Structure 1
Amino acid sequence: MVGENTNHELLDALDPERSPLLPDRHPTTDLFVCDIFDAAPKGDMASMEHPIFSLSTKPDRRVRRYEHGHAWIEITPSVKGLATVHDRDVLIYCISQTIAALNEGKPVSKRLRLRAYDVLTATNRLTDGRGYDGLKAALERLLGTKIVTNITTGNREELDGFGLINSFKLVRQTREGRMQELEIELSDWVFNAIRAKEVLTLHRDYFRLRKPLERRMYELARKHCGTQAEWRIHLERLQKKCGSNSTLKEFRRLVGTIIAQD
């Protein structure tokens, strides 16, 4: 297991009473930020269904291929590693803002201009230097992670290689070197899913879940439960769909810990 939840497991051992949720870092917001929260968090169904993002807390440079039925996907990292489950927050924010604009009848584009502070606040991240550094690192991994797949979004099948985002640009920086505005161009794969509204609403506490595996399990449950009272899956298949690189025995332990803390 390459760093999956390692830091979290150590902290749990030191403090058994530790909440599985991060603190709500931005419980009160000004009127401008309140508008941001009107856009409900949404994730694209394709990456909720398939294990695209790494669970590792360390650079994950494994090439992974996932197959299920006729669908397959191959994900190749850059030297900085695969995009992580926490990096996905940036995409969720972009998808949420674009869907909100579509619902209001506004024109949308693959290219978004955003305030870095808004992204950090809406995704419950720190807004100090560490938060901005983390956002920049997330953008680099999202850009560097390349995908080849036959999974369709918006009834379109992309068989060429593409990134989760096509590009990003820091538009303005403060004197301290922190980004203020940034531009992100989404990939056709993500943008096709947005235009086809192949998305699902996520609970806002998703951004407070500490462990990557917790987030991944929530995504799968949200995708498959729908209006059903329950969804059943064998542990081996759950491990595959989570994209876990741990042994089955270790994966069972990790899942058991999450259940016990729920």
Structure 2
Amino acid sequence: MTHMEHPFYSLSKKPETNVRRYEHKGNWIEITPSVKGLATIYDKDILIYCISQIMAKLKNNEQVSPRVRINSRDLLIFTNRGTSGRDYMALVEALDRLEGTRIRTNIRSGDEEQTDSFGLIDASSIRRKHGLDGRLLWCEVKLSDWVFNAIRSQEVLTLHRDYFRLRKPIERRVYEIARKHCGQQDEWTIGLENLLKKTGSQSLLSDSVK
């Protein structure tokens, strides 16, 4: 998907609230976070899980919808996370950031230009168990048309299960870039400056990959 190509997600553990803008040969893309911060590369795990659920249904010739019901515990286990109360709260916060992150981009055709604006998810719903622990039972995510259409068009790439074992954000991002560009090739070459731009890292590359 396009979000493997462009650095839509924050690699920082601190809330990132700056607007990102990337330009290339007259085309541009702008990512605007909410007041709660830009969606992080760990928040993206929720999208990966939703995509995997829809792809499994498509493979079985089942009807699919942009609305995906998620068993919260299954999601946490799938993404190699814990299942403590703190992990469930982090899941709720991730949904907020995903829903709040907005993307604007242009499409040029001849002497005309069209600007589109969309999000990563359009809405989310959470069901909790009533009581002192407030345990999270399930959540439902409505994917944006942009994400859902990419899935329907088979514009997705598989990720190795060990992706979720990568703990450093920069490691995940470099893997995504390599997965996107290598495909079935044995190797792929990229300059350090271009790699830094694609990672979206806010620090020097030499510091990020130590």
CA positional deviation for 1:252? 1.8
Asked whether the 8 Å contact 2:15–2:36 carries over to 1, the reply is yes
Correspondent of 1:185 among 123, 133, 142: 142
Tell me the residue number matched to 2:197.
240
Superposition map of 1:147-166 within 5 A: 147-150=103-106, 159-166=115-122
**Match status 1:212 vs 2:166:** no
CA positional deviation for 1:58? 0.2
SS in 2 for 1:149: strand
Which structure 1 segments of 5+ residues have no match? 1-44, 152-156, 258-262
Asked whether the 8 Å contact 1:51–1:66 carries over to 2, the reply is no
Distance 1:223 1:139 in 2: 25
Asked whether the 8 Å contact 2:122–2:143 carries over to 1, the reply is yes
**Match status 1:252 vs 2:209:** no
Tell me how large the CA RMSD over aligned residues is: 1.6
Distance 1:76 1:201 in 2: 27
Tell me the residue number matched to 1:77.
33
CA positional deviation for 1:84? 0.3
- State TM-score, norm by structure 2: 0.92
Which structure 2 segments of 5+ residues have no match? 108-112
Change (3 A) 1:192 1:71: farther
**Residue identity in the other structure for 2:29:** I
- Tell me which protein shows more strand as a share of its residues: 2
Tell me the residue number matched to 1:50.
6
CA positional deviation for 1:254? 2.2
CA positional deviation for 1:172? 3.7
SS in 2 for 1:161: strand
**Residue identity in the other structure for 2:164:** F
**Residue identity in the other structure for 1:106:** E
Tell me the residue number matched to 1:5.
none
SS in 1 for 2:178: helix
Change (3 A) 1:57 1:241: same
Correspondent of 1:102 among 38, 41, 58: 58
Asked whether the 8 Å contact 2:16–2:38 carries over to 1, the reply is yes
Q: Deviations over 1:52-77 (max 9, x none)?
A: 00111100001001123354210001
**Residue identity in the other structure for 1:238:** L
